[in-house]
Amino acid sequence: MFKSPDLIAIAVTALRDAGFTPTFPDAVKEAAAQRVALPTNLPDLRHLLWSSVDNAESRDLDQIEVAERLPDGDIVLRVGIAEVDWRVPQGGVIDSHAAKNTSSLYTPGHVFPMLPEALSTEATSLVSGEDRVAMVVSLRVNPDGTLQERSAAPALVRNHAKLTYDRIGPWLEGNAELPDEIAAVPGLETQLKLQNETLERFLALRERQGALNFESVETQPITENGKIVGMKTIHKNRARLLIESFMVAVNTAVAELLHESGRASIQRIVRAPKRWDRIMEVAKALNEPLPETPDPRALSAFLERRRAADPQGFPELSLTVVKLLGPGEYTLVKAGRESEGHFGLAVGGYTHSTAPNRRYVDIVVQRLIKATLNQAPAPYTPEELEALAAHCTERASVADKVERRLRKSAAAIFLQPRLGEIFDAVITGAKNGKVYARLLEPPIEGRVTRNEHGLDVGDRVSVKLIKADPETGFIDFLHRD
C-alpha cells in the first residue's frame, strides 16, 4: 500500500531550493513578540460596522469593509487595510526578512507566512473583536460606479464580524437563508446588502471599461496533519467577487493617489498580450471574430457572450485566455509619468496595496502613502523602487512556481491510484517544446510527454495518466490521438 509522503517536509525543501527562508530567525521572532501600544492620535472609526470576508481558515486578515449611503444616492465605501508599517519599521530585522521572501507562501496543509504569526495573525491582523490600526481608503461611489472622491488615512478600527466566502456567497446569490453569524450582529444584514449594491455599481463600470471577468475553478487538497486525504474544487461566488471588486477599486484608487502626489511609485502592470493571435484563433473557432489589435473591450464582450452561451465550458475558456494574456509584473512609475496600465482590468493605473500581511510590495506602497499624507521625504529613491519592483516580480514568479509544484505533489498523491485511466483535458501551455494539459475533472494540471507535437493552448484532448510522482510533483500524460 502506498505511504503518503509528508507534504510539509517536501514544501520546506522546495522553498529552500527556490531561495526562500521558510523559518524565522530568533531576532525576527523576538522583535515581532514585543508589545507595542496602539497609537492614540488617530481618528477613531471603531464604531463603524466593519466586517471581513475571507476563507474559513484564514487568520492573516488584511481587509475589512463598511459602506454608507449618502442622501444624494452616492455610497461611501471604506476599506480598512491592515496597517503593518507601524509594527515593521523600514530597515529593521522583520522588514529585512520580509523583503527577502516578499510574500507568504501557501502550500497544501501549511502556510509559510511572510511575517511572524505574532504579527500576521495577531497584532497586525484585522481579527474580529480587537482594536487595530488600519489604513482606511474611502471611496465615494456614484450610481454609475465612478468615483467622485477618494482618500486614504490611518485610523483605529474594529472588525465586528469575521465572515467566510462559503457562507456569505450563497446568501448574497439568493440561494441560502441568512447565515446565523450575520443575524447575530444588529445592522449587519443591511450593511452587507449595501455593500452588494456597491458591487453592482462597480461591475457596471467594469463592463463599460472592458475589464475581463473570468470564471476560475481551483482544486485544493484536503489535508490533515500534512497528509493528503482528498481534493476539493473551489468556485468563485458572489462573496469572492465582492471582495475582489473592492480590492480592484482600492488598488486603482491608491495608484491614482500616488500618481497625483507627483512622486515615484510601484505599480502592477499587465501588458497587452503578445499571443493575441492565438486568442483570435480560439475565438474564431467559436465563430467569434476579434479585432487584429489587442482590445480589452472586445475580449470582454466575447467572454461574456461565451459565459452566457456555454456556462459549463466557460471556466475552461477562462483558463485558456488567462494563460495567453501572460503574467503581471511590478514596475517603477517615475514621478509625472503614466503607467503602462493593466490590460486585464482595463485601467491605466493599478498597484498592490490591500494585503500587507501577505505581500511585501504592499508594505512598500503603504509607506509611500504615509509619506505622501505626512508630506514627508519619500522612503525610497526611484532606484530603490526599481530594484524592489524587479525583486518582487522575480520572487512572485518563483513563488507561483513553487506553490504550483507543491499543489502538484498533493495532486499526484490523489491521482496515483488512477494511473492508466483516460481523462478529458484542455491544453493550458505550449512553450519551448513543453506542453501542459489540465484535466476537466478533477481539474488537475500536468505535462503531456507523449504524442504532444502540434498541440496548442485551448485544444480539447483526451489523455492517459502515465505518471504521478509525489516527491517531484510530476504528473505526466500521454495524448491519445
Q: Model confidence at 189, in pLDDT bands (50, 70, 90)?
A: very high
Strand 474-480 relative to strand 460-469: parallel, antiparallel, unpaired?
antiparallel
Answering whether pTM is above 0.85, one says: yes
| Beta strand residue intervals within 94-251, DSSP E | 105-107, 110-112, 131-141, 147-164, 217-224, 227-235
pLDDT in tens, 198-223: 999 999 999 898 888 877 667 777 76
In the chain the domains, ranked by start, together with CATH numbers, are 7-270+330-410 (no CATH), 276-326 (no CATH), 419-480 (2.40.50.140)
* Assigned C-alpha cell, 446: 500536468
DSSP summary character for residue 462: E
Instruction: Please name every residue paired with 139 in a beta bridge, in sequence order, or none if there are none.
Output: 77, 150
Q: Give the integer Cα–Cα distance in Å for 38 and 41.
A: 9
Nearest to 265 by CA among 331, 355, 327, 328: 331
Mean pLDDT value across residues 411-423: 92
Place 15 in a pLDDT band, splitting at 50, 70 and 90. very high
Please compute the mean of the pLDDT values over residues 408-424 and round it to a whole number: 91
Which grid cell sits at 393?
Answer: 516580480
% of the chain residues with pLDDT over 70? 97
Residue 4 has pLDDT above 70, yes or no: no
* Structural contact between residues 212 and 344, judged by C-beta atoms closer than 8 angstroms: yes
pLDDT for the residue numbered 1: 37
Q: Residue range 139-162: average pLDDT?
A: 97
